Amino acid sequence: MSFHTTSLATVVQAAAEPAGGAAIGEVLLASAMAGVATAVLGWLGYTHRTGRSQVLARAGAVAERTSGMPAWAALPGALAGVALLVAVLGMYWDIALHIDDGRDAGPLANPAHYFILAGLFGIFAAGFLAIVLSPQGSRPSRGAVRVTRGWYAPLGGVLMICCSAFSLVGFPLDDVWHRLFGQDVTLWGPTHLMLIGGAGMTLVGMSVLLVEGGGARALEREETATREGGAGTPGSRTWAFFMRMRFLGIAGGFLVGLSTFQAEFDFGVPQFALILQPALITVAAGVALVSARVFLGPGAALWAVFYFVLVRGGLALIVGPGLGETTPHFPLYLGSALVVEGVALLVAVRRDPVRFGAIAGAAVGTVGLLTEQVWTHVWMTLPWPADMLPETLAVGLVTGIAAGALGGWVGAMLRAPQAIAKGEDTPRVAPASAPMIRRIALPGVCGLVVAAVVGYGLMTSTPQGLSADVRLADVAGSGQQREATAEVTIRPASKADDARWLTVTAWQGGTKLHVDRLEQVGPGRYRSTEPLPLHGDWKTLIRLHTRGELATVPIYLPEDRAIPAPAVPAPASFTRAFQGEKEFLQREAKGGVSGWLWGVGYAVVLGIAAALLVALAWGLARLAAPPAGPQGPRRPAADRRSPAGLRPVGTS
């Protein structure tokens, strides 16, 4: 196997990459760019609200004619959809660049960062436009939030602003984090989770915005009996079809967003226990697929998976073969979708969506994970070993019940306006008159259970008294681009018997990730199945993971003067002790940082994240049981047809 190819980012990289924060010049330039973009957006909003410009009005009118939705939902919804695709492409490209090439020369030297920033700012702009385009003197929905007298912001727009602001704040906080603690080359760095988490949660705000927009359009049905445009007349079958497709697309996007937390496993360089992967898969499937089935009816879970595979498959092709980086793999979720749809045939969905969600989630965490177990052996870099199955099912069951119940609650909240308009009973966890804290108690409890399971997956230790004898045989003809095969003897030999992975992993060498699962040739004796790189910028390691323990032996590491860190040579034979993985996988992390400073850093990020989750729960509860008050154009009391053009689904 050859390692001589060079990826796109290597060409872009400048001199020595900094190991701390970005250069002040780049920080100022990035701040100036963000300031100009924000000023332009603010100017557009101001001139629209004061009647001095018709730019946004014209754009909104075009979007309204095309989609059949009000301008304040149509234009922001389209912009947010495009922005999210741009952001997720940038995210997976950025992860691949860091895996294949290491640190950036600076935030503006990484081409993927431009996609991420543009996408996140586009989401922010979408939320802003939803608020700005809201007509004066008309309330977009009963859940709308008052801005000033006569001006109400759509609830979905407010939630989108919150999510995008959460992500955008992650950029400057990320630079501060690097200055305090060094670079954390891991997806699960706190500020990195802010960037991807806010974008993923935007889909909740988009769902709320479309529910509001569809409801408002239904209320105006008598005034707009005949409409022109490709989306059809509100109330028609064409209109209902397009609305359903929009919501199904958002459901698939929500699954994509929740699946981004698994990216380290998708690429093949996880820095945490393997049991965390099935837990994260269960969370994503339980919340996204159950909420889709409750909200959108039969077949919705399968449609969500279809959209998921479409997007993630496209990303894999673009990032891998297209851009020449390591290809991101992904879970399939098909088994989980099938069991969600199957449980819906046996359990009343609309009568008690939370109960349905808990049962469906339990099925996802058991039967669904069994199908993912098979899939990992088909198309994952690190398959799940058979002896991990009991722990997988135990973790999956607990996680699935909590995630499924949460998904049932989310779906019920999104469907509540439709149920109210049809005169149906609306299942609520707490009465609308109850204090808000009681109305959002269920998602809070479910969130705590999920957090506890994730915390379990994050807890690892380093085994003591473990070493590896390594013998390297150079590959003939490799020359200065040295490659070798390896024979590894683990001492004590029994320690590797129950390994969940035992690999030679080489990364950040300027081309695609190299992961070689070692082949056992005797008690405690293993050998590589292909040559491994031992030159240039490659970081080549033996990685061993047993239950709850992660350890690494460096085979070859280059000198890194920016940290600084000495080179680790690769002689023909050597014996080295296994050490903690963070020392090598996060080589740039600063040592000697006070514990209280770490505590403050994590507390700040967790506090901001908790505030966002509370805001989302508040928004969904407000949508389902809004405060009393008029809403926009009224409709005759006798007209009880479904708002939002959603196809009524009477069956469970």
Give 450-493 pLDDT, tens digit per residue: 999 999 999 999 999 999 999 999 997 777 899 999 999 999 99
What pLDDT shows up at residue 239?
77
CA distance 383 to 82: 33
pLDDT above 90 (res 650): no
pLDDT digits (tens, 9 = 90+) for 173-219: 888 888 888 876 777 788 889 999 999 999 999 999 999 998 888 77
Q: Where are the beta strands (DSSP E) in 72-226?
A: 145-148, 151-153
pLDDT above 70 (res 130): yes
pLDDT above 70 (res 431): no
Virtual torsion, Cα 430, 431, 435, 436, nearest 10 deg: 60
Q: Say if residues 83 and 126 touch (Cβ distance below 8 Å).
A: yes
CA distance 410 to 198: 17
- Please name which of 224, 219, 218, 214 lies closest in space to residue 247, comparing C-alpha atoms: 214
**Confidence band, pLDDT 50/70/90 cuts, at residue 351:** confident
- Please name which of 363, 334, 355, 449 lies closest in space to residue 407, comparing C-alpha atoms: 355
pLDDT digits (tens, 9 = 90+) for 548-568: 899 999 999 999 988 888 999
CA distance 534 to 567: 12
Q: Which residues of the chain are in CATH 2.60.40 domains?
A: 467-580
Residue type at position 511: T
CA distances 554 to 53, 399, 418, 539, 543, Å, are: 62, 35, 59, 8, 9
What pLDDT shows up at residue 422?
73
What pLDDT shows up at residue 588?
84
pLDDT digits (tens, 9 = 90+) for 57-103: 999 999 999 888 999 999 999 999 999 999 999 999 999 999 999 88
Token pair recorded at residue 272: 């945490």
Q: How much of the chain exceeds pLDDT 70, in percent?
A: 88
pTM value > 0.85: yes
Annotation: CATH topology of 467-580: Immunoglobulin-like (2.60.40)
Which residues, including other chains, have CB under 8 Å from residue 390's CB and lie 6 or more apart?
none
Q: Mean pLDDT over all residues of the chain?
A: 88
Token pair recorded at residue 181: 């603690």
CA atoms lying within 13 Å on the CB side of residue 6: 8
